Structure 1
Amino acid sequence: MNEVETKPRSPASEKANDYDVVVIGAGIAGIYQAYRLREMGLRFRVLEAGSGVGGTWYWNRYPGARFDSESYSYAYSFSQELLAEWNWTEHFAAQPETLSYLNYVTDKFELRSDMQFNSRVKSAHYNESDCKWIVTIEDGSAFSCRFLITALGPLSAPTMPNYEGLGEFTGESYQASLWPKEPVSFAGKRVAVIGTGSSGVQLIQEISKTAKQLTVFQRTPNWCVPLRNAPITKEEMESLRAGYPEMFERCQASPGCFIHAPDPRLTMEVPTDEREAFWEKQYNAPGFGLWMGNFRDAFISEEANAVLSDFVARKIRQRVKNPAVAEKLIPKNHGFGTRRVPLETNYYEVYNQPNVRLIDVNDSPIKRVTANGLMTSSEEFEFDMIVYATGFDALTGSFDRIDIRGENGVPLKKAWEHGPETFLGIFVAGFPNFMMIAGPHMALGNAPRGIEYGSEWISGLLRFAAQKNITRIAAPFEAMQSWTEYVRGLGTELLATKIDSWMTGVNKNVAGKTQRCVIRYNGPATEYRKKCDEVAKANYQQLDLS
């Protein structure tokens, strides 16, 4: 990347809590943005609510939490030295290893000194008189900065169900995404798990091993496919390391930035036997192959998706001994791959165990939490522990929880009340000097690949601003409206946009988020980068710079 001369970092010349840039969040995005800001010599501060780095991998400590992207494809790609040093132990690393990796990166590049932990941001208000942001954390401390960058994470605002009596339960109670640092034992206990999304699936697999009784409360079954995890030997790690350049190129060339790319054939044009053999191979291969590496019309054509869904349904019936339970685990309101696909290890076999029971809350809705457990419309349950794996207020939820106000004091939540509007997924009109990494309308897919690109693009803009003595960067309303219309028009043919999920902005646990809207970029990442690159190559003429 092109370097420019910037003012050296001189503590003697700095005002207390006054910075060129404040970054909110010290997860994958915040760590990488800190690396780029340090490289540029800017005065910056990273504010993090947790007591350490990691973001998703700091908060989600529940048993079974792990990658479902290949560890090596999820790693940072910016440093050859880092790639040469770090050895992954599993193809799909567990949370402790991932958190160790992110701490290693932070310390290797000496980024911790510019980070402030236990500092949850309460508000961020734009001051029009000096084109600066005032950022306040919960203890009342305030920070001023020229540029504000959010690195909040797309899935970082956990939600709880709206049940009566939530605070009445006298046993142990946990939220999957706010898991304690101390070990939690399930041995010999009667445990309830509410939710069967990705977190729920991973938790259920672990809890079922030792719990006296596990009762799973399911609202929407998900199509799950095998993870096929395995250890990485020393020799295999060396081979993977030698192949990093080609692997990262493959990620960059694929629509979702994964190592898997769509098959160019149309589903129904492939003979039945050949089609079944292809799916069998993908089903038995590690990772997202069946989702991200399927026929190119598998998630567009209803006919194609129906035969694919039937294939996966047959797998579930083969693995679950009780036919009635198997049918409850097969989704009926969406086809395979139209919602986030959880990867699993013997998840379906769990329901063959005598200590596991599945409750369909569509048939028996949960009425309330009681002092001793849960009450449904047909039964009262007693538990020693309740685990809520009830998902996230995706993409916009983490912004909603901060009082962000732009020009004329307009709240961001008000500006987005009918769904997010952005320019490039980075800017919001009326919010100058405010930039987002991994927010709405930015291409992500395999998150670190999208994060690295977004951070590098923002860093390039900041370099340009330094060269030109620019102190105010704003997106015109016309540019935002044009980009938002473009994003809303993307993926209209995708079956995923026709169902309720966090990917279409629906969360029934959050007031006002029961209607579908476009909260993410549904096109290929290659096209997203092309459009952003065009803006940069034109010296950012689509932005208001002054």
Structure 2
Amino acid sequence: MTAAQDMLERAAPATATRFDAIVIGAGMSGMYQLIRLRELGLTARVFEAGTGVGGTWYWNRYPGARFDSESYSYGFSFSEELLQDWSWSEHFAPQPETLRYLNHVADRFDLRRDIQFKARVSRAAWRDATRDWAVTLEDGSEFTCRYLITAIGVLSTPTLPRFEGMDSFRGLSFHTARWPHEKVDFAGKRVAVIGTGATGVQTIQEVAKTAGHLTVFQRTPNWCAPLHNRPITEEEQKEIKANYAEIFRRCQETFSCFLHTPDPRGTFEVTKEEREAFYEQLYASPGFGIWVGNFKDMLTDPAANAEISDFVARKIRQRVKDPKVAEMLIPKNHGFGTRRVPLETRYYEVYNQPNVLLVDSKATPIRRVTPTGLETSEQAYEFDIIIYATGFDALTGAFDRIDIRGEGGLTLKQKWSAGAQTLMGMLVEDFPNMFMLLGPHTALGNIPRSIEYNVDWVTALLRHMQARGLTRAEARPEAMAAWTEHVKAVGAGLLTNQVDSWMTGVNLNVEGKQTRTIARYSGSAPEYRAWCDRIAAGGYRELDLA
């Protein structure tokens, strides 16, 4: 019996059909929300499309997948016993270890008895007459609940390019987020990787170690910075466990819940020599410091951004031997940090290997996939394996895949046809009793820190309703409009919002997502929490409660 089969046997049996709450997704959000729902005494069922818990860390099994926020700042913080019981082996843990951790959490809190695996939700419809949700799975099973909670993730819906002939390829092919559970051997194989975003970078640097030949097809280069990962020593382990309270306090204080936060100085408040020394220090330091711990004006002042962009470009030229290849790897259409910065381990050195070729797929577009490889506008290539590192339909994509219908049959997709509208990224007018744990306009950054806060906020609202005999909650339209204006205001002047990326709602692989929108919350996490806390402290006046 496989581990996955064993988990399924221990999972919740599909007998009851009526619950107080249904949670969609058994990743970190869904697992933690289940724990909190039990504390409220509510009956709950979690529906999970996969065969095990873990969400992102269940689906993304590609080689090289790992944290790029420090392991000890990433795990759950709600249980001191859990913190002391688990020891991370590396400063930035690899995917297999993270999945083991999440299974450990599921075991410790006996979560699987309320989780139904291999259960993909296809439809959820609010019923005005009975004031509840009717939830339908892909297999036709139907369930009802008072509260519908989406724990479906920000980057959970993979997208594939629309190349002619993709189904004709006779070798192995898969998206990084749908990696086979069995080992994939690259030794001696001709491998193509399409895409050089965060997952592409992690995959490329691993595949290149053993592939017979690797061809990387790059549409848009990304600015990358060194991860500087290493094992955690025994002494460091003791120090981490003794200082978890301080670690999580620091995460609460910083702009995006990482251990790094912007330097209070402006770029041009120091001399050129001081700037250079600071950039060198950041480039040599582990984690996201060079992105989120840089000078305070790096992402608002074009001249300041040009300074750090020039520095990182020089680093790329130093690390890549072929000047032509180096220039191909240096972004020309956006500055450093204005898109998500992949962290890497000797990624640029990969292109110095004789078995690696970089192809500019913007200059020579891929025309079609063939039974033996693929063709660009310039030539044909033969491959044994094609890997699509082509990203995700971010923020709203996972919602779009479910037929979610609110009052009067209005679909969420219709509601958001001109762009997402939410209250704190957690509630939507016309969709009563639907709570989104990581909806659009939620504060992101170090995701588990956002998860724990949002789950606790939703749980506090449900507790408030329980205490007063209330059974219905919905965002007021004027509150949602005020929040949307706030989201726009905190994003004004940011260079990141002037660039096409998943963070601004643009995805060239998804029909109708070629225009920038206000897709994410660009303010600080403390600002976000203060807004949410004010609503709770004021008795939830921004919600219609009944």
CA-CA distance at 1:143 after TM superposition: 1.1
Report what 1:255 is aligned to. 255
* 1:490 match: secondary structure: helix
Report what 2:42 is aligned to. 42
Partners of 1:204 and 1:53 lie apart in 2 by: 27
Partners of 1:488 and 1:286 lie apart in 2 by: 32
Partners of 1:16 and 1:106 lie apart in 2 by: 21
Let me know the Cα RMSD of the aligned residues. Answer: 0.9
CA-CA distance at 1:16 after TM superposition: 2.6
TM-score (ref. length: structure 1): 0.97
CA displacement 1:338-397 (0-9 Å, x = unmatched):
000000000000000000000001111111111111100111101111000000000100
Report what 1:394 is aligned to. 394
CA-CA distance at 1:488 after TM superposition: 2.0
CA-CA distance at 1:15 after TM superposition: 9.1
Partners of 1:221 and 1:48 lie apart in 2 by: 34
Higher mean alpha-carbon deviation, 38-47 vs 494-503, is at 38-47
Partners of 2:442 and 2:274 lie apart in 1 by: 37
CA displacement 1:279-313 (0-9 Å, x = unmatched):
10110010001001000001110000001100000
Amino acid at match of 1:196: T
> 1:58-207 counterparts in 2 under 5 A?
58-207=58-207
Amino acid at match of 1:290: I
CA-CA distance at 1:414 after TM superposition: 0.8
> 1:195-234 counterparts in 2 under 5 A?
195-234=195-234
2:62 corresponds to 1:52:
no
Partners of 1:372 and 1:152 lie apart in 2 by: 36
CA-CA distance at 1:35 after TM superposition: 0.8
Report what 2:513 is aligned to. 513
Amino acid at match of 1:375: E
CA displacement 1:188-207 (0-9 Å, x = unmatched):
00000000000000000111
> 1:494-513 counterparts in 2 under 5 A?
494-513=494-513
> 1:327-346 counterparts in 2 under 5 A?
327-346=327-346
Partners of 1:452 and 1:23 lie apart in 2 by: 15
Partners of 1:335 and 1:132 lie apart in 2 by: 48
CA displacement 1:19-51 (0-9 Å, x = unmatched):
110000000100110111111111000110000
Report what 2:5 is aligned to. none
* 2:462 match: secondary structure: helix
2:320 corresponds to 1:320:
yes
2:282 corresponds to 1:282:
yes
Report what 2:445 is aligned to. 445
Partners of 2:55 and 2:495 lie apart in 1 by: 31
2:434 corresponds to 1:430:
no
Report what 1:539 is aligned to. 539
Return 5+ residue gaps in structure 2 as ranges: 1-13
Partners of 1:281 and 1:16 lie apart in 2 by: 58
Partners of 1:514 and 1:417 lie apart in 2 by: 13
Identity %: 61
TM-score (ref. length: structure 2): 0.97
Report what 1:419 is aligned to. 419
Partners of 1:442 and 1:526 lie apart in 2 by: 12
CA-CA distance at 1:489 after TM superposition: 2.4
Amino acid at match of 1:262: P
Amino acid at match of 1:216: V
Partners of 1:416 and 1:319 lie apart in 2 by: 44
Amino acid at match of 1:467: A
* 2:168 match: secondary structure: coil
CA displacement 1:123-174 (0-9 Å, x = unmatched):
0000000110011111111110000000000000000001111111111111
Partners of 1:236 and 1:324 lie apart in 2 by: 42
Amino acid at match of 2:44: F
Partners of 1:403 and 1:234 lie apart in 2 by: 50
CA-CA distance at 1:243 after TM superposition: 1.3
CA displacement 1:68-108 (0-9 Å, x = unmatched):
00000001110000011100000000000000001111110
Partners of 2:331 and 2:309 lie apart in 1 by: 9
Report what 2:310 is aligned to. 310
Partners of 2:479 and 2:273 lie apart in 1 by: 50
Higher mean alpha-carbon deviation, 217-226 vs 165-174, is at 165-174
Q: How many pairs does the alignment contain?
A: 533
Runs of 4+ with deviation above 3 angstroms: none
Report what 1:9 is aligned to. none
